[in-house]
Amino acid sequence: MPKFKIWEHHNPKIAEPYMNDLLKKLSESSSNWYGDSWYNDLMANVSLQYQENKYIHIQIPNSKNDRPDLEEFSKFYVFTSFDQATNGDFNKECESLDDAVKVATDLLKKLGGEKNEKT
């Protein structure tokens, strides 16, 4: 269970179980994945710093509907960022949790594997 509050607009009834499943499945690729929920984001995330100032994120659905114009998202989004603010050059929409796990773990291998403190 995440040790922080998933903000109400992230729809905890949907997002929290996904977050728990993602963290469990992703722990096989790295023990450094963590749950992330920022008040000003539309979706909760699971994130990993895989190198200094380089991150992989998985945005978690906040709805069973996919209506982005109403800030309702039913898909997972895997993307990279720098300094947790600047978007990287990878962004992929995934239909399922298992697809998001595969995309993220394949991306982690491609980009340099496990988090490296000396990078």
Tokens standing for residue 109 = 């291998």
Neighbours of 47 (CB within 10 A): 18
Band (pLDDT 50/70/90 cuts) for residue 114 is low
The residue whose two tokens read 């179980």 is 17
Quote the pLDDT of residue 117: 42
Mean pLDDT of 78-104: 91
Quote the pLDDT of residue 93: 96
Tell whether the model's pLDDT for residue 9 goes beyond 90.
no
Tell whether the model's pLDDT for residue 52 goes beyond 60.
yes
Tell whether the model's pLDDT for residue 36 goes beyond 50.
yes
Q: What is the largest CA-CA distance in the chain?
A: 42
| Beta bridge mates, 39 | none
The span from the CA of 37 to the CA of 60, in Å, is 10
The span from the CA of 25 to the CA of 10, in Å, is 21
Global confidence as pTM: 0.86
**Segments making up each domain of the chain, as ranges:** 8-111
Tell whether the model's pLDDT for residue 94 goes beyond 90.
yes
